[in-house]
Structure 1
Amino acid sequence: LHLHTPCCSLSPALRSFLLPGSMEAKLQCTGDEPSKIPYQLLKQITNDFDKERILGSGSYGTVYKGVYENGGEIAVKILNNIPVGLDDTKFLKEFNNLRGLKHQNIVELVGFCNESVEGPAMFEGKQVTAVSLRTALCFEYVSNGSLHKYISG
């Protein structure tokens, strides 16, 4: 999967959360496109995807609240079950749809993660090396709660 977004490019919304010298500041550059964010950083800012940080979940994934060292907040949507090479189109479709949305009433896509990682796995009773995808979409954090409570009922 090739996304035509420079790895070092940070959106203005994400750039505002960075502390000089912090792990996330190493990503800093310029640009208006969503930024590629390492999975390790997402683990760090969500406290290793702590259940207490869950904002919501659905069929595509779980959304966590991420908090940077300076107190800046971000919503991190970890996408579920995207097999390597079989359905990268799910991620790419959602990414491309969201990256073009710019409106005052829509949360902005500020970053993404799409990393392949090799590691041990069990297959038919044998330990093998497998590749798994770590995929996430990161949005500006809005503290007003779920849209569901405003549009339902």
Structure 2
Amino acid sequence: MLIHAPRPGAAARAVHWAALARAQADGWVRDIGVSNFGVAHLRALPGPTPAINQIELHPWCQQREIVQYCREHGIALQAYCPLVRADPKRLEDPVVVDIAKKHGKGATHVLLRWSLQKGYIPLPKSVTPSRIRSNTELYDFELDAEDMERLDALDEGAAGACSWNPVDTP
């Protein structure tokens, strides 16, 4: 069970987290976590440590500081918008297209594979059965170090977000 956003403030976050921790301790939920929490939000949480932080993650919005903090504290990273909402500007990026051609795959496969190789848990959204099936076809290729470096170089920081991204909310 996740707290969806770091709003409406520090006091409310503490109350919400205490309630989730109590639900976990009482056996109502197995794991508890957060969504859209930045480093300051994570640092301010009392125990237990969240199992997961669900944040926007893709080559254009890599949120490196949050990723590093989560890794250092054993918090799994769940990547939402890993397919950048099918934005043609992103899916047709020359770097992505070149890597996709190199591996005989589609742009979405490259983005999901990047996410998996980063150790993230990608959440690709689709309602189309053929696309849902296609999103699973990720285990017959691997991006090499050069591919990963080229994709990593696409990072635009917060400007690269394609969704509501409240990680810097006070």
TM-score by length of 2: 0.28
* Greater helix proportion: 2
The structure, 1 or 2, with the larger RCO (C-alpha pairs under 8 Å, 6+ apart) is 2
Please tell me whether Structure 1 or Structure 2 has the larger radius of gyration of its CA atoms: 2
* Greater strand proportion: 1
